[in-house]
Chain A
Amino acid sequence: METNSRYTVTLDDDSTVPKIIAQVTGIPSHAFQNGDALLKKAESLDPVAFFLDIHLDTHTNGLDLLPELRRRWPFHPILVVTGDPKDELIGQALAMGANDFIRKPINPTELIGRMHARVLEMAARKKIDVLEIGDICFSPSQATITKNGKITYLPKLETQLFAILIEQRDMISSREELKQRLWGRIAVSENTLDRKISDIRKALSEIGSTCVIQSHYRKGISLSFGNIDKKIS
């Protein structure tokens, strides 16, 4: 596996796809035909971007891998490549952590344009890894929240959940969307999500933050700083 040069990673059971991606981008594309093979090599991979097919075989679905890929590579662009005409699948993929999508048949101009845009976007996001927001500093890569020298650590999933809530601060995120982004299509109970939220609240309380995570009956969850009544209707 090349680790020194630039390359992309393609997960697709169609062997022409990584060839086309490599030819269009001008850098090699390491091809994987199933998710297990990709995850086995995960430690040694640092690609420019991931290209992920949705339908891999009759049993597995590329969407199932998305939460794991996003956890391992928080700042790498993940683009879904699909020939599926159903828009809802693309919506699901984006909700679960993909940055963008490309439809088959692959249009070379679109592929390169979308990849470049996502590479720039993720690089910018990585630069501002430490977010100063409200009365706290949050670092997703370090999984820490700090306030006035006090520091608290979050487990992986709680970090991811907190990052999502910050991204969508002052807005209500549905419980369904949050569960999809954290666990993909794996069915989890409402309690599981509630426990994660409770852990984040505890962490925020430990450092004395004014950040509030509020549950809205039948609507979802929101995060806000300061006067929450002003921001959430």
Chain B
Amino acid sequence: MSYFDSKLPVLDLEMLATLRSLDEDKGFFLNELIELYRLDSPVIFENLLKAHAEASVKHVVFYAHRLKGMSSNLGILRFYRLLESIEKSYTQLSPRELLEMEDLLRQEYELALAQLVQDWCIQNLAS
């Protein structure tokens, strides 16, 4: 899909390292952010999919923007860029792109969450 760059890394490692350094690399602070994201983002994500299913441009743009902000602050790079593309050019997407959008969103969201938890959560780093 032209609006999605699959070559981008899933996570911005530099940004995540900066966030982890904010509590002297103990990782508790980053863990707290990841937990907040895991808690807050599913509702917004589902709202985005619902808005897309209903073809409500206003709501798609709004939820994409909101999820983009949260994702960008946590270094969830590829998903954030995908949301940015959707926010900017949702109305210009082809019927095929629109049809494939839900699957692409799910795939990227789940991949980002899995990598985030696996590589950056304290409990996994310790093991």
Chain A residues whose C-beta falls within 8 Å of the C-beta of B32 in the assembled complex: 19
For residue A17, CB closer than 8 A to chain B, the reply is: yes
For residue B105, CB closer than 8 A to chain A, the reply is: no
Q: Tell me the residues in window 16-51 of chain A with beta carbons closer than 8 Å to chain B beta carbons.
A: 16-17, 19-20, 23-24
CB B35 to nearest CB in A, in angstroms, measures: 10
Chain A residues whose C-beta falls within 8 Å of the C-beta of B40 in the assembled complex: 14-16
CB B38 to nearest CB in A, in angstroms, measures: 11
Chain A residues whose C-beta falls within 8 Å of the C-beta of B117 in the assembled complex: none
Closest to A103 in B: B72
Whether A16 and B36, one on each chain, are in contact in the complex, defined by CB atoms closer than 8 angstroms, is yes
Chain B residues whose C-beta falls within 8 Å of the C-beta of A55 in the assembled complex: 62, 65-66
| Interface of A, helix, strand, loop or mixed by DSSP | loop
**Total interface residues on A, using CB and 8 Å?**
20
Whether A105 and B22, one on each chain, are in contact in the complex, defined by CB atoms closer than 8 angstroms, is no
Q: Total number of A-B contacts with CB less than 8 angstroms?
A: 56
Q: A23-B29, A55-B66 are in contact. Are A104 and B72 (CB under 8 A)?
A: yes
Contacting residue for B15 out of A14, A24, A105, CB 8 A: A105
CB A101 to nearest CB in B, in angstroms, measures: 14
Chain A residues whose C-beta falls within 8 Å of the C-beta of B29 in the assembled complex: 19, 23
Which residues of B approach A to under 8 Å, CB–CB? Answer: 12, 15, 18-19, 22-23, 29, 32-33, 36-37, 40, 58-59, 62, 65-66, 68-70, 72-75, 80, 84, 88
Which residues of A approach B to under 8 Å, CB–CB? Answer: 13-17, 19-20, 23-24, 53, 55, 57-58, 83-85, 104-106, 108
A-B contact pairs, 12 of them (CB 8 A): A14-B66, A14-B69, A15-B40, A16-B33, A53-B69, A55-B66, A83-B65, A83-B72, A85-B88, A104-B72, A105-B75, A106-B73
Can you name 9 extra interface pairs (CB under 8 A) apart from A17-B73, A105-B73? A13-B66, A14-B66, A14-B73, A16-B73, A19-B32, A20-B19, A20-B73, A83-B68, A104-B73
